[in-house]
Structures are given as C-alpha cells and as structure tokens.
Amino acid sequence: MTATFAAVEAGGTKFRAAIVDGDFQIVDEVWVPSTTPDETLSAIENFYSERPSVDALGVASFGPLIVDRSSDNYGSIANTPKPGWSGAPVLRRLQESLGVPADIQTDVEAPALAEWRLGAGRGYSRVAYVTVGTGIGAAVAIDGVPFRGRNHTELGHIPVRRVDGDTFAGRCPFHTDCLEGMACGPAIGERWNADPETLEGRDDVWDLEAAYLAQLVRVFTLGFAPDIVLFGGGVGTRPDMAGRIARASGVDLAGYAVDGPPVVATAGLGGEAGLIGAALIAESLLV
C-alpha cells in the first residue's frame, strides 16, 4: 500500500494542512487562520482526526524555530514578535495528536528541499532558495538536507550596502535597513508609496529591488557556493525578476567567484513548495 502523509505549512497568517499521497498530490486540505496556538493547532488536529490515518507528518513552519535536536523544546517557536506564539510547541503537539513519526523544518528549508527534489532545482546538488514577499527568508539544501549551524539561518536579515541615492530608512523592526527591511514587499510599497502590484513596467523600481537581492546572491556565492539560487514568493517570482537579479549579481560580484556565479532562476513550485516540502519531510521518516 502506498504511504500517505500529513503535511502542514505553518505560517504567521494562516496554517495549511493537507493529506498528500505517495505521488505528492494533495488529496484533501484545510486552511486555518493563525490566531492563538491552541485555537490554530486544535483546528489542525480536528482536521486530521476526521480523516483516514496517515503514515508520517511533516511540518514546514514560520520561525524563528528551535531546531536544536538536543533541546527539550525542539520544534517549538522561539521568541517571535507574533503575540502568543513564543514557545508554542508546534511539532510536539501535532505529533502527539497524530501518533505518527514527525519532523519539522523552517518554511524556507522545506521549499528548498521541494525545489531540489521536484522543482526547478532538480539536477543540482546544492540548491539555495529565497522567498521574497511580506518578509525575506532563505535556505540552502545540500543533496536535500538543509544547511544548519547551531540554528537555522536567518539570511533575510543580513546587512546590505545601501544603493547610491536610496534614502529609504528601512522597515525591519530589529535592524531597520537589513535586506528584509530594504527589499521585502512592504518595503517596496513604503518606499514608492504604492502597491507593488501597480508598479509593473517601472524599471527603476525593479532594478533597485534586484540590486539589493543581488547582495544576497553574493553572500550565497561566497559563503555557501550553491549551484543555483531560486527565487520564490510574490516578489521573487515576478516576470524577469530572476533575470534582473542575475544581471545585478554579475556586477556585484565583480568577477570574484570561482567558476563564476551560480545560476539564478525562478522557483518552479510556486505556492505549493512549502506543502510539498512538508510531505517530503514526512516521506524521509519512513525510509
């Protein structure tokens, strides 16, 4: 019998829970607002309690996330500005409820895994994934395994060199003008005083955005040496955004990269990457 998986994409605004079959097709799903941990996780538990049993559970979660396996709080949300969610035991509670093997990755690590296995990263060993939307998150998967140090990476908060003439203050509540503070979707809206969706055709807008995101490609290139950097999220998947970033990356690296810069491309799985990544986490527990 083919295995079935519980896949949960835990976001700061909403949770998406699904049953995914062995071919990674979604069989059934539910969307739940991220209100309080108890309300949200109870709704997810109720969804699964009313469906046929699954073989394993994978979770792709917003962070910061405790991923130190030696910690008693492994799989819990770390200190977060989202009210009420600091310390929420997302993995432990869902695993105890479903009673199956379970594991968790961040909501950028899991898409990196999904893109490596089934998306635009197929055929590459070292895949970097970036999501650019309400925030900026990034991860590197090496042969499908997320790179981690003592904790997961937080590359959306790297310092960036301000582009000449850009006087925007930045909007990160922690660092003001880090990459996320300068280049996330809301930063675009504030800088230009317009909904980013209305800025189609504005080369000045998107070339400036690319100049900041190219600095992350430089960090990837010199720090991790990936084969490919994939951009997802509402901003990252804009038409020609990857091309703009690739061109800006060539300028930013100034020729200083062994074998040249990595391929820069658009992520292939769109909004399904997180959920598919969660299902792949579940699959890995049965091998």
Average pLDDT over residues 244-269: 92
131's tokens: 């999501």
Q: What is the predicted pLDDT for the residue at 1?
A: 63
The answer on pLDDT for 20 being more than 90 is yes
Looking at the fold, whether 91 and 174 belong to one and the same domain comes out as no
User: 17 with 71, same domain?
Assistant: yes
CA distance 78 to 123: 34
Structural domain includes residue 44: yes
Average pLDDT, the chain: 95
* Same domain, yes or no: 130 and 262: yes
286 domain-assigned? no
Q: Looking at the domain assignment, is residue 277 inside a domain?
A: no
Q: Cα–Cα distance between 64 and 107 in angstroms, integer?
A: 10
Provide the CATH number for the domain around residue 73: 3.30.420.40
Regarding whether 126 and 54 lie in a shared domain, the answer is: no
Looking at the structure of the chain, the number of domains it has is 2
Domain span holding position 48: 5-110
Dist. CA 250–CA 248, nearest whole Å: 5
pLDDT tens readout for residues 187-223: 999 999 999 999 999 999 999 999 999 999 999 999 9
Percent of the chain with pLDDT over 90: 91
What gap in Å lies between CA 121 and CA 130, rounded to an integer?
12
| pLDDT tens digits, one per residue of 38-57 | 999 999 999 999 999 999 99
pLDDT band for position 150 (cuts 50, 70, 90): confident
Cα 140 to Cα 109: distance, rounded to the nearest angstrom: 7
pLDDT single digits (tens) 72-88: 999 999 988 889 999 99
- Residue 68 inside a domain? The answer is yes
| pLDDT for position 260 | 79
Q: Same domain for 159 and 253?
A: yes
